[in-house]
């Protein structure tokens, strides 16, 4: 889910945006993605919400409706720190929607594009917190299947894993878009890129890729096109990525998470513990955890959101 605006800020509603959905007033645009648009709204008690509305063209497609319903079910069943709770939804509406608690912040990919890689301890903290979120996802019986920087929201109180748009239960069949596999090619696991069913270990592989990019700005499989990178990932068993240039302790984490065999990768909880040990500070210690320019940008985004919510 791409947040709108310069670096991920709120934007005013446009002429084509609705002003209300099922009794929820819409106040600004938070972001937009392939499935729909996310708006800032609020409850009757004035609690801010992020309300995701599926696009009209997708609302007419039974497969997209099913995907959206699965997203709502997955997000409603999964709870834990670093996960944004779902508060309400209607997947049978003319335009299905999901309302989640509003978590202000900036998407990780936007921060990396603007400020470059994070210091290694902060990158390990991001990875460890997202691993804890994934542990909760997996414990609930789900696989996220789209772990990537744009689905990590960075706030002053830590990172948050967002967008369950293609999550699925571990015991359901794979949902695909017409003619291909659902997911982001640059952040797929080998088994996912080969068309096999992704499992919890697939999320861990994707999180390893995210860790590398967050800490160094370099993707272990290069900067080629999405499909070109996916082809390299698919060949990991015979042509593993060269990790020698990555600093320790990140290198050891990458060797573990990017193993070709899913059975050799650490579980999400094990990865979280490893990141905490390597970062040299508790994962939940967010005092001064971000570089000053990044912290200022995040705080400014949160303040803007607070002003809009309090109007």
Domain ranges of the chain: 2-103+303-310, 106-279
The pLDDT of residue 254 is 99
Tell me how far apart the alpha carbons of residues 209 and 211 are, in angstroms, rounded to a whole number.
5
The pLDDT of residue 72 is 80
Task: Indicate the pLDDT class of residue 1, thresholds 50, 70 and 90.
Answer: very low
- Is 298 in contact with 306 (CB distance < 8 Å)? no
Averaged pLDDT for residues 9-28:
90
Residue 302 neighbours by CB distance under 10 Å: 17
- Is 207 in contact with 152 (CB distance < 8 Å)? no
Residue 204 neighbours by CB distance under 10 Å: 26
Tell me how far apart the alpha carbons of residues 200 and 257 are, in angstroms, rounded to a whole number.
12
Pick the closest to residue 211 from 264, 279, 162 (CA basis): 279
The pLDDT of residue 287 is 95
Scan for tokens 């593993």, then name that residue. Answer: 240
- pLDDT digits 0-9 by tens, 193-245: 999 999 999 999 999 999 999 999 999 999 988 899 999 999 999 999 999 99
- Report CA-CA distances (Å) from 35 to 14, 67, 87, 117, 170: 18, 9, 19, 29, 22
- Record the tokens describing residue 269, joined without a space: 């909880």
**pTM score, whole prediction:** 0.88
Q: What is the phi/psi pair of residue 301, to 5°?
A: -65, -40
Please tell me the CATH code under which domain 106-279 is placed.
1.10.510.10
- Record the tokens describing residue 300, joined without a space: 């400014």
Residue from 146, 157, 223, 245 carrying the catalytic annotation: 146
Residue 52, annotated as binding a ligand? yes
- Is 51 in contact with 98 (CB distance < 8 Å)? yes
User: Interior CA angle at 146 toward 131 and 81, to 5°?
Assistant: 35
2-103+303-310 belongs to CATH 3.30.200.20: yes
The pLDDT of residue 62 is 86
- Record the tokens describing residue 90, joined without a space: 């209607």
The pLDDT of residue 164 is 66
Q: Is 171 a catalytic residue?
A: no
> For the chain, what is the total number of helices (H) and then of strands (E)?
10, 13
- Is 168 in contact with 181 (CB distance < 8 Å)? no
């Amino acid at each position: 889910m791409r947040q709108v605006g310069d670096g991920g800020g709120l934007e005013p509603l446009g002429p084509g945006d609705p002003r209300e959905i099922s009794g929820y007033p819409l106040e600004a645009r938070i972001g937009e993605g392939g499935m729909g648009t996310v708006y800032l709204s609020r409850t009757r008690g004035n609690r801010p919400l992020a309300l995701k509305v599926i696009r009209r063209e997708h609302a007419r497609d039974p497969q997209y409706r099913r995907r959206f319903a699965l997203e709502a079910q997955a997000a409603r069943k999964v709870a834990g720190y670093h996960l944004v709770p779902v508060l309400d939804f209607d997947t049978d509406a003319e335009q299905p929607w999901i309302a989640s608690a509003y978590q202000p912040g900036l998407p990780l990919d936007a921060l990396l594009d603007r400020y470059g890689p994070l210091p290694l301890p902060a990158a390990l903290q991001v990875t460890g917190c997202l691993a804890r979120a994934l542990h909760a996802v997996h414990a609930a019986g789900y696989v996220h299947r789209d772990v990537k920087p744009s689905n990590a929201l960075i706030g002053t109180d830590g990172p948050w894993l967002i967008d369950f748009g293609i999550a699925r239960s571990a015991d359901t069949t794979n949902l695909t878009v017409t003619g291909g596999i659902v997911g982001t090619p640059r952040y797929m696991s080998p088994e996912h890129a080969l068309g096999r069913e992704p499992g919890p270990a697939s999320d861990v592989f994707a999180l390893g890729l995210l860790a590398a990019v967050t800490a160094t700005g370099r993707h272990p499989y290069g900067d080629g096109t999405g499909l070109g990178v996916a082809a390299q990932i698919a060949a990991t068993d015979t042509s593993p990525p060269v990790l020698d240039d990555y600093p320790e302790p990140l290198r050891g984490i990458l060797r573990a998470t990017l193993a070709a065999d899913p059975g050799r990768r650490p579980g999400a909880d094990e990865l979280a513990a490893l990141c905490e040990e390597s970062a040299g500070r508790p994962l939940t210690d967010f005092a001064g955890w971000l570089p000053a320019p990044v912290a200022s940008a995040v705080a400014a985004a949160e303040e803007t959101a607070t002003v809009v919510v309090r109007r």
